[in-house]
């Protein structure tokens, strides 16, 4: 029996709301439901005093006016329909005060679990044209990096990407964002030498660390592209890598350009390798566009997209529904009362008319009898 009742309630839908998915924010307010009964039982009936006149000829006055004597105290009683409407209205008000909420179906949202910062070298050596595109066109290193990074970013649409440009000093071009289109636009706006002709490789890592500190994501990855040796940093790259390792930041270092370069423009591959070991990352060398693309494919394989799933059930307040029902009950009650008084008044008016006609007929009969005598 109880199982059938539970199944019946489960299938009831009012205003497309399943009754089994309704919860109350203030369920303790349901203790107010018996309040009207307590008032009826323990509070005395209200009595209203009216002025009256005491006359010695009361019986004669009753005969003249035709009124019937009534009790001096009149108790106003409601009929059963009024009691029912009052009960329903009170229950609806208590339900509204308890604030019912409809619990919607579970919604699962997936968000990125990784912040990926990319640092790009804009020193003067990035203008060397030693990278070849698919169509055979030779372009400078920065143009090739932009093209490969664009393809790489499109495959990381579920990660938050950031962009640091460095030369004489590092600059945050784009904070972490899930808007890949905006990130690509800011990358395209970068120009060779806009950050100075030198290479502040270690300082770029330090700036990335400070940006990661403001992030709550635990999976942190830094990709650094450079074609020269560090010659402008206040903090050596190895020391910066040690700090990055303390913050659980994984570094992937990519050396691009001609490995036969000598002097300050030569990439120190040993430093890049040591940085990768300290941060549990990896170091790569890309001599042309194909190798650079292969590097990013390897990084994609090493760092697959991660997601954090958040599941929740939306809550919608529906306290206005019982209040609407109270208003409807009030309108119905008021209409019924008005109809009652209308027909009652019409009935009494008809009786008064009949009595007047009878009285007129009686008076005429008496006059005729007098005249006949």
pTM: 0.58
3-state secondary structure of 131: strand
CA angle 189, 191, 193 (to 5 degrees): 150
Flag whether pLDDT at 310 surpasses 80: no
Domain boundaries, given as residue ranges, for the chain: 2-44+76-105+317-368, 110-312
CA 337 to each of CA 326, 330, 332: distance values in angstroms, whole numbers, following the listed order: 16, 11, 9
Given a cut of 50, is residue 370 above it in pLDDT? no
Both structure tokens of 350? 């008809």
Whole-angstrom Cα distance, residue 304 to residue 116? 12
CA distance 95 to 317: 12
Alpha helices in 100-195 (DSSP H): 141-154, 180-188
Q: Is residue 210's pLDDT more than 90?
A: yes
pLDDT band for position 12 (cuts 50, 70, 90): very low
Provide the pLDDT for residue 139: 82
The predicted pLDDT at position 372 comes to 52
Cβ neighbour number for residue 37 with a 10 Å cutoff: 10
pLDDT at 358: 53
- Each residue's pLDDT tens digit, 84-140: 888 888 888 999 999 988 888 877 666 666 788 999 998 887 888 877 766 777 888
Report the C-alpha gap between 36 and 38 in whole angstroms: 5
Q: Are 313 and 104 in contact (CB under 8 A)?
A: yes
pLDDT at 289: 73
Distance of alpha carbon 325 from alpha carbon 335, whole angstroms: 15
Q: In this model, does residue 311 exceed pLDDT 60?
A: yes
Condensed to tens digits (0 to 9), the pLDDT of residues 156-208 reads: 877 889 999 998 899 999 999 888 889 999 999 999 888 888 888 899 999 99
User: Which pLDDT band, with edges at 50, 70 and 90, does 7 fall under?
Assistant: very low
CB of 312 within 8 A of CB of 306? no
Q: How far is CA 137 from CA 16, 129, 133, 289, in A?
A: 63, 10, 5, 11
Residue 20 has pLDDT above 80, yes or no: no
Given the DSSP bridges, would you call strands 131-132 and 22-24 parallel, antiparallel or unpaired? Answer: unpaired
What is the pLDDT, as a whole number, of residue 166? 92
What is the percentage of the chain residues whose pLDDT exceeds 90? Answer: 14
240 close to 209: Cβ distance less than 8 angstroms: yes
Superfamily of domain 110-312: von Willebrand factor, type A domain (3.40.50.410)
pLDDT > 50? residue 2: no
């Amino acid at each position: 029996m109880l199982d059938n009742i539970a199944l019946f309630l489960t299938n009831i839908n009012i205003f497309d709301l399943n009754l089994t998915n309704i919860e109350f924010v203030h369920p303790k307010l349901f203790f107010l439901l018996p309040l009207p009964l307590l008032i009826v039982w323990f509070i005395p009936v209200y009595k209203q005093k009216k002025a009256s006149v005491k006359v010695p000829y009361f019986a004669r006055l009753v005969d003249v006016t035709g009124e019937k004597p009534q009790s001096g105290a009149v108790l106003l009683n409601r009929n059963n329909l009024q009691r029912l409407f009052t009960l329903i209205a009170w229950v609806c008000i208590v339900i509204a005060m308890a604030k019912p909420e409809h619990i919607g179906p579970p919604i699962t949202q997936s968000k990125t679990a990784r912040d990926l910062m990319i640092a790009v070298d804009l020193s003067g050596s990035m203008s060397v044209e030693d990278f070849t595109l698919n169509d055979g066109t030779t372009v400078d290193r920065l143009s090739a990096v932009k093209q490969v990074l664009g393809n790489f970013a499109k495959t990381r649409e579920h990660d938050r990407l950031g962009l640091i440009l460095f030369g004489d000093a590092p600059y945050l071009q784009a904070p972490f964002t899930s808007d890949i289109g905006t990130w690509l636009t800011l990358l395209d706006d970068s120009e060779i030498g806009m950050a100075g002709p030198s290479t502040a490789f270690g300082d770029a890592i330090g700036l990335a660390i400070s940006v990661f500190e403001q992030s709550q994501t635990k999976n942190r990855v830094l990709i650094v592209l450079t074609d020269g040796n560090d010659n402008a940093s206040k903090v050596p790259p190895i020391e910066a890598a040690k700090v990055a390792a303390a913050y659980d930041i994984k570094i992937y270092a990519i050396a691009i350009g001609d490995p036969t370069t000598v002097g300050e423009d030569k990439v120190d591959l040993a430093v890049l390798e040591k940085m990768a070991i300290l941060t549990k990352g990896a170091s790569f060398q890309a001599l042309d566009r194909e190798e650079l693309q292969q590097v990013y494919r390897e990084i994609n394989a090493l760092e697959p997209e991660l997601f954090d799933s958040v599941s929740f059930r939306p809550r919608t307040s529906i306290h206005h529904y019982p209040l609407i029902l109270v208003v409807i009950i009030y309108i119905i009650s008021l209409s019924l009362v008005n109809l009652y008084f209308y027909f009652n008044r019409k009935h009494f008016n008809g009786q008064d008319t009949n009595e007047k006609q009878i009285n007129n007929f009686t008076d005429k009969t008496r006059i005729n009898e007098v005249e006949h005598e």
